Structure 1
């Protein structure tokens, strides 16, 4: 009877052990075809590419910067205006006539001899003014080029945001997978420890173990439950982060895959690519171009400017308020302005622009150094994750063998209950570490691809329509008028 019951216990223990091993493999290895409604890592990233608010906000910022180009072009475009005015005017007019003789005659006749009259008029009129700047010291030309450099810098910043969203999305996806597997492992661990506690209590009844062994088994179960609840809380946090980045609740997530096939084979080649292609570097160099052009715009204030102006005016009742009077004028004038000295503000602006150019160049150097460090760090983390998986697999296999041996030895009294519990905990820790290493490898591969500037929807071949920022600039670059945006707002 005792032998049969012990045999049943052994079968139960083996069953729980096998289930725990399968749970660890669920993290990254697909063992069966995924259901039709399953979410893959790439489909989740495609969802984030479409709907993430941070990325859409960055795209909107690029469209805002696009409008700087037509604003700068307005400097050499013609300007026209119409002015109209109307009102009422009271005028009193006195015109003296003759010398002293006429004054005396006027006095004798009771008249002053002067012409006096009052008028109430309603002056009104319109004026059409046309002006065209012919030369402004190259300020408009350089302002347009400066605006275009700002647009290119904004596009690079948008690419940085895209990389961050894709990398954060991959991290959130793998965190949910990892925490789901950890919850499963810890739940299975509770079942195994519950079975161990039952066996210990049975052995205590027959006098094979002491009350201390039972208490140790009970403490292990209580600790396992506490760790299970903590794992559940961590999973909920990861699911909330997933919802924030991806825009949907995580359901039926498929195993993730590493991007190592897309990475350069050597770190040196990765660094060379990153120093040229990384959006942070390209944004910094576009900002240098914009700062250099800002210096030229400021220097244009010292150059002469040339413009022509035409004006047509038609006025009524405007001559001394006389009713019925009419005045028509038409004029065309050229204006040449040669600045000599304007208080020194333009010189201060030039010096300031040059200092900002130096600052932009230093920022470019800083970005290159930062990108280089990021590549080295991400490649190091990827290497560490790969090595951790190899050692983790070996650790799981060794821990499984050790646990089986400790259990057999405990049956013949060579091991205590504490030894069995410690071996079970060691196996659990090894499985959790393996799941974590599998997650770290995928996340590190995304970080490495992002560190060289190639983490994009195009590079990942996401099933999305790639956003083209150049289309909006093309639509507004030469637009002279219009209130609606290209998308009809």
Structure 2
């Protein structure tokens, strides 16, 4: 195989020029599938729904409660001794029915008011957790997507190198038959070919592993995927300095915002526990009907009674439960404060790491681009020199190998830069569907 054909194979499989069928899934398509099939993301969605239901339960405490009670019974009385004629000594057996309607409305309950605020904050916390999980899933599927593209490239590179080695081996075998080269050179060419066979086997395993990861995340068997767009501008990924990115992340990262909300919820929980041991006021209306078939006074009665009252409940002593529950709520507030600080440090670390990696990959891309050009020139020179006997076939194979690995390293640097870009967007809390769509357009 000529050097032009070998280079053509390498260029076709290179990062920016992969040509795949239009029906192959894009990164955004796989992301949508992952949203539908990810148990962890579905758990976060259910936690949001549960928090909203809990808020509805808490808010119900502001509304009146209405209850109806009905009692149907009979009453037996036996007057054994009486010193008044009002209560004759006799036995009575009569119906004793009662129906009551009770309406209660909370006027003031400090615990209920604080608990309502906690429920509202819990909904916000669940929504932020859902957003964080959504962005984490987007990054995870992007990472798997890039790993699969890497495996395709790697397989193509080592496959092209294997074809070149096979061609050189056949050429060396013919030359040996004619006595042009020696046994040592033929053995070295044969060893290079065996080495490429092992590399192809490793690349195929890498591809299978990457495909399995896609299936695990999305439930989709990816028979090829769409490539990264050649329009992606690697040089303009960073739009601000590191300090600006860190400040932005501290304000917008959903994990930090959730930790802030959780701390506010812990503060309200102290008010909730304190409110349980404060006076509370309830307005009550009660309508009652007693329907009796008899009494000590004799004769049946039916009495309707309507009453309205304001009930004041003042807790006095609960065995120390009040102070203990307030202490526990205070400790939970301290814990949430530490968790907030820890989350801030983690996010700042993630921003610094992603920022540094982007700069590193940009430098790698620039250096590896020059390296590819240099190795291509060296290969051409060695192929020309091999015809005049200046270089051996082993030298040519080594040059092809160097060029192939340089092209592979350049492609991987571009892939790694894109992953670092996603990592930075995730740390900022800004990783969106538009970023995923942008990769393939």
Q: Which moved more, 1:83-92 or 1:340-349?
A: 83-92
Does the 8 Å CA contact 1:94/1:115 hold for their aligned counterparts? no
Q: CA deviation at 1:429?
A: 1.8
CA distance in 2, matches of 1:69, 1:178: 47
Q: Secondary structure at the match of 2:179?
A: coil
Aligned to 2:124: 152
SS of alignment partner, residue 264 of structure 1: coil
Match of 1:420 in 2: 396
SS at match of 1:265: coil
Contact 2:270 2:330 (C-alpha < 8 Å) held by counterparts? yes
Give the superposition deviation at 1:358. 1.7
Q: Equivalent residue for 1:481?
A: none
Aligned-pair CA distance for 1:416: 4.0
1:371 matched to 2:357? no
Question: Residues 342-376 of structure 1, C-alpha deviation per residue, up to 9 Å, x if partnerless?
Answer: 22211121122122112212211111111111100
1:381 match = 357
Counterparts of 2:81 and 2:234 in 1: how far apart (Å)? Answer: 98
User: In the alignment, what sits opposite 1:9?
Assistant: none
Look up the match of 2:156. Answer: 184
Query: Corresponding residue for 1:285?
Result: 260
Q: Does 1:312 align with 2:300?
A: no
- Tell me, yes or no, if structure 1 residue 134 matches structure 2 residue 107: yes
Q: Is the 2:10–2:160 contact (alpha carbons within 8 Å) kept by the matching residues of 1?
A: no
Which residue does 1:3 correspond to in 2? Answer: none
Q: Does 1:356 align with 2:342?
A: no
Alpha-carbon separation, structure 1, partners of 2:168 and 2:215: 39
The equivalent of 1:102 in structure 2 is none
- Offset of 1:283 from its aligned partner? 0.7
Distance 1:19 1:163 in 2: 38
Kindly indicate whether residue 422 of structure 2 is the aligned counterpart of residue 439 of structure 1: no
Q: Is residue 21 of structure 1 aligned with residue 1 of structure 2?
A: no
CA drift at 1:71: 2.1
* 1:65 aligned onto 2:77: no
Q: For residue 203 of structure 1, report the CA deviation from its aligned partner.
A: 1.4
CA deviations on 1:198-222 (whole Å, 9 max, x unpaired) are 0111111122223333333223222
Is contact 2:10–2:156 with CA below 8 Å preserved after alignment? Answer: no
Name structure 2 gaps, 5 residues minimum.
none
* Structure 1 contact 39–254 (Cα < 8 Å) conserved: no
- Name the CA shift for 1:459/1:435 in 2 (closer, same or farther; >3 Å): closer
1:401 match? 377
CA distance in 1, matches of 2:169, 2:437: 52
Structure showing greater Rg: 1
Residue of 347, 353, 359 corresponding to 2:323: 347
Please give the TM-score of this superposition, normalised by the length of structure 2. 0.87
Task: Tell me which residue corresponds to 2:139.
Answer: 167
- Displacement of 1:255: 2.0
Query: Relative to structure 2, which stretch is displaced further, 283-292 or 166-175?
Result: 166-175
Q: Is the 8 A contact 2:266 2:336 kept in 1?
A: yes
Instruction: Give 1:379 deviation, angstroms.
Output: 0.8
Distance, in Å, in 2 between the alignment partners of 1:278 and 1:239 is: 31
Deviation at 1:68, TM superposition (A): 2.8
For residue 194 of structure 1, report the CA deviation from its aligned partner: 0.7
Matched, 1:41 2:27: yes
CA contact (8 A) 1:259 1:449 kept: no
Write the distance in 2 (CA, Å) between the matches of 1:71 and 1:447. Answer: 39
- Is the deviation greater in 374-383 or in 408-417? 408-417
Pairwise CA distance, 1:459? 6.7
Structure 1 residues 423 and 261 mapped into 2: Cα distance closer, same or farther (>3 Å)?
closer
CA distance in 2, matches of 1:299, 1:259: 56
Inter-CA distance 40–259: structure 2 relative to 1 (3 Å threshold): farther
Is the partner of 1:376 in helix, strand or coil?
Answer: helix
Q: Write the deviation string for residues 106-152 of structure 1: whole angstroms up to 9, x where unpaired.
A: xxxxxxxx96544544543322222122112x222222222111211
Q: How far off is 1:180 after superposition? A: 1.2
CA distance in 2, matches of 1:323, 1:231: 101
Question: Are 1:338 and 2:314 matched, yes or no?
Answer: yes
Alignment TM-score, normalising by the size of structure 1: 0.79
Aligned to 1:208: 180
Most deviating of 422-431 and 247-256:
247-256
Aligned pair 1:226/2:198, yes or no? yes
**Corresponding residue number in structure 2 for 1:480:** none
* Structure 1 residue ranges without an equivalent (≥5): 1-11, 99-113, 463-489
Give the 3-state SS of the residue equivalent to 2:247 in structure 1: helix
Q: What root-mean-square deviation, in Å, do the aligned CA atoms of Structure 1 and Structure 2 show?
A: 3.0
